[in-house]
Structure 1
Amino acid sequence: MTQEMVISIAETAIFTVLIVSGPLLLVALISGLAVSIFQATTSIQEQTLAFVPKIVAVLVSIILFGPFMISRMTDYFHSILNNLVRYIG
């Protein structure tokens, strides 16, 4: 197994992690920003108001993006398993 192959596997793994986690992180960021703006404009300092909308938004986005995330992860897993003989030697 060469250094280029190891770097390629690591690069693909990092790219897959970013693509899979990206939509959830983006939804959490946008919902957190919206709640923060709402709290700042209304002067409401309720602690649960900051977390509950983000949790709900992330759960809804898991339902929406779940098939995409699972397909990307299974494609990566199949790629690793199909090339396992080449990786081992």
Structure 2
Amino acid sequence: MDVNELTSLFADAIFLVVSMVAVLVVPSLLVGLLIAVFQAATQVNEQTLSFLPRLVLTLLMVLFAGPWILQQISDLFNRLFMNIPHIIG
């Protein structure tokens, strides 16, 4: 296997991990920011007010984006598995 092909496989894997994390974390960060602005405006300092909506949103994102994430992981695994003879020899 060529160094460029191996680098491409690693780049695709890293991009997949970054995109999966971004899909799950970015909405939670945005909701956390909105809640922090709300808390700063109203001077309400309740920890559960910021934690619970982020937790619920993250779980909803896992529910909705889960099939896409599993499909992407499956595609990458199949690509790696089919390239084993090419990688070894």
Given the two structures, how large is their TM-score scaled by the length of structure 2? 0.90
CA distance in 2, matches of 1:87, 1:48: 50
Whichever residue aligns with residue 42 of structure 1, its letter is: T
Identity of aligned residues (%): 33
Aligned to 1:13: 13
Q: 1:5: how far off?
A: 2.5
Distance 2:11 2:81 in 1: 17
1:23 and 2:36 correspond: no
User: What is the letter of the counterpart of residue 6 of structure 1?
Assistant: L
User: 2: distance between equivalents of 1:88 and 1:28?
Assistant: 42
Higher deviation after alignment, 45-54 or 65-74: 45-54
Amino acid at match of 1:85: P
On the 8 A contact 1:20/1:72 being kept in 2, the answer is no
The letter for the 2-side match of 1:32 is: G
- CA apart distance, 1:2: 3.1
**One-letter amino acid matched to 2:14:** I
Alpha-carbon displacement from aligned partner over 1:23-77 (angstroms, at most 9, x marks no partner): 1121111111111111111101112222111111000111111111111111111
What is the aligned length?
Answer: 89
Partner in structure 2 of residue 63 of structure 1: 63
- What RMSD, in angstroms, separates the aligned Cα atoms of the two structures? 1.2
Q: Which residue of structure 1 lines up, in the alignment, with residue 86 of structure 2? A: 86
TM-score, normalising length: structure 1: 0.90
Which of structure 1's runs of 4+ aligned residues deviate more than 3 A?
Answer: none
Q: Which segments of 5 or more consecutive residues in structure 1 lack a partner in the other structure?
A: none
